[in-house]
Amino acid sequence: MSRLDRTRTSAHQLRPFFSSQNLLNRADGSAQFDFGESSVMCSVVGPSEVKLRDEKLDKATIEVVVRPLVGLPGIKDKAREQAIRETLEPLVLSGLHPRTGIQIVVQTMKDDGCILATAFNATILALLDAGIPLKSILGAVTCIVDNNSNEILLDPTTEELANAKSTHTFVFDNKSSITSKEEQQESVDVATLYSDSTGLFSEEEYFECAQICYKAVQAVHGFIRTAVQKKLEKEYQQIHS
Amino acid sequence: MASITTEQESELLIVLPGDQLPESGLMEDSSAAHRLTLGPGLAPMDDDSITAVKAGILKHNAVGNRWWVESNQRRYVAAQGESIIGVVTGKTAEHYKVDIGASQPALLGVLAFEGATKRNKPNHNIGDSLYCRVSMANKDMEAELECMNPTTGKADGFGELKGGFIIKVSLGLARRLLDPKNLVLRLLGQHIPFEMAVGTNGKVWVNSASAQHTILLCNGIRNSEYLNAAECVAMVKSLVEKM
């Protein structure tokens, strides 16, 4: 079956990734992450001073601000802020920087679907760039169940999202990897950090989506590793040449 | 579980948060003393594994079986014993408040200078830049500074930085500038005589005979971060020619 997105031939194909780190001059860390024509920029400031009202005595306060493509932030953006913050809070070793604040600003640059997944990936790259201590890294992918064919399509574009019966976004950490077929379901459960689904779907469909996204996220993790490696090699070329 | 595999083609062993260190590799060359020292970027986790918490290059020193992750960031987190550059932002009867680029201003005792007594002590004003040493750093407290060597009580180069210009660079670049063999500093020094102080908090103080030279030096240092040796030579050459 052919996809609405003509650039891709198979249902489980992701759009090309692109990323860039250390783009902003004044932030402590920043990154851009693209899934094809969807692009999100993220900046991280911290650990820095925090308002007395938000100060936590034993750990850092994480603040997430999501800026939409145009206009003022609405309810959708507030929901994304909460999703990102609550996923990151257990991941960041905030106990190492008590009474400080870590501010994360997420700005959509181009929207062609899967903004939440793109935002998660941009955020983790920006946190790595800022040198914030983390328990592990994460990777996010969105998939849909198509209304006509009932097929699961990975990384849908806006056009494909309009035809979705249900949409699922999954975030997985990099601590567990695929072992055998039987153990796979278990490792999906262990690795899931966040899952967001809208629309009508059956239990089977949901778990199938989770499995497919989990496999796809391995490519995202690999990409993040390569991106970080490239940056470090550039920084250390003077010493190692 | 994702664990680190040594890649043959790349000599840099790069780790990301969540990568576990193989236990066998950690202890192999410490048969005499079963001790393990973990530096920045590594932490023991709840499941007794040793995991990287920062993205960077895994380094090892056989002396004392030390392991750490060499990473780069822009925000400074105070650590005891480091030499840093700060700017005085406030003054009380007992302390100067010094901005060192960390999450909180650091405290510098008014008597923490060479030969300072209650009657005779140096007077610094708001806005002065100081080269000092972190005498105490704790995550729960404000860092404390001193402007002298604690063993000898001598100034040892610490104190006010008069004149010159301060630029902010990444912490990784600041550490590389401290290397006596640093390429860009040697290249710049061949053309322009200058003096500098590098703070491990990423602040670099540069002073030379004229403001024009100082600006050129600052640009050269900033530009060098992502260049290789040949590009550094070309960059310094073009900067000097344009002057």
* pLDDT band (50, 70, 90) for residue B1: very low
pLDDT tens, residue by residue, A36-52: 999 999 999 989 999 99
CB pairs under 8 A between A and B: 113
pTM: 0.93
B43, containing H or E segment: strand B42-44
Residue type, A235: E
pLDDT tens, residue by residue, A98-135: 999 999 999 999 999 999 999 999 999 999 999 999 99
The rounded mean pLDDT for chain A is 92
**Domain range list for chain B:** 14-70, 83-161, 165-242
Burial of A120-141, coded b for 16+ CB within 10 Å and e otherwise, reads bbbbbbbbbbbbbbbbbbbbbb
Chain A residues within an 8 Å CB radius of B140: 98-99
Domains and CATH numbers, chain A: 17-240 (3.30.230.70)
Q: Which of residues 157-186 of B touch A (CB under 8 A)?
A: 172, 176, 183
Query: Taking CA atoms, what residue in A is nearest to B103?
Result: A48
CA distance A237 to chain B (A): 6
CATH fold of B165-242 reads Ribosomal Protein S8; Chain: A, domain 1 (3.30.1370)
CA distance A205 to chain B (A): 27
- B23 vs A142, residue with greater confidence: A142
Q: Furthest-apart CA pair in chain B: how many Å?
A: 64
CA–CA dist B57, B54 (Å, integer): 9
- The per-residue pLDDT for B126 is 97
* ipTM value: 0.90
H-type alpha helices, chain B: 23-27, 171-177, 183-191, 211-223, 229-242
Residue A216 has pLDDT above 70, yes or no: yes
Domain B83-161 and domain B165-242, same fold? Reply is no
Task: Please give the structure tokens belonging to residue A70.
Answer: 């145009």
Q: What is the CATH number of domain B14-70?
A: 2.40.50.100
Residues A128, B16: C-beta atoms closer than 8 Å: yes
Query: Taking CA atoms, what residue in A is nearest to B202?
Result: A28
Q: Residue holding tokens 């240092």?
A: B221
Q: How many CA atoms lie within 13 A of B116 on its CB side?
A: 17
pLDDT tens, residue by residue, B141-154: 999 999 999 999 99
Residues A47, B77: C-beta atoms closer than 8 Å: yes
Q: Would you call A218 an interface residue with chain B, using a CB distance cutoff of 8 Å?
A: no
CATH fold of B83-161 reads OB fold (Dihydrolipoamide Acetyltransferase, E2P) (2.40.50)
Residue B9 has pLDDT above 70, yes or no: no
Burial of A111 (0-12, 13-18, 19+ CB in 10 A): middle
CA distances B58 to B4, B5, B55, B70, Å, are 10, 12, 9, 6
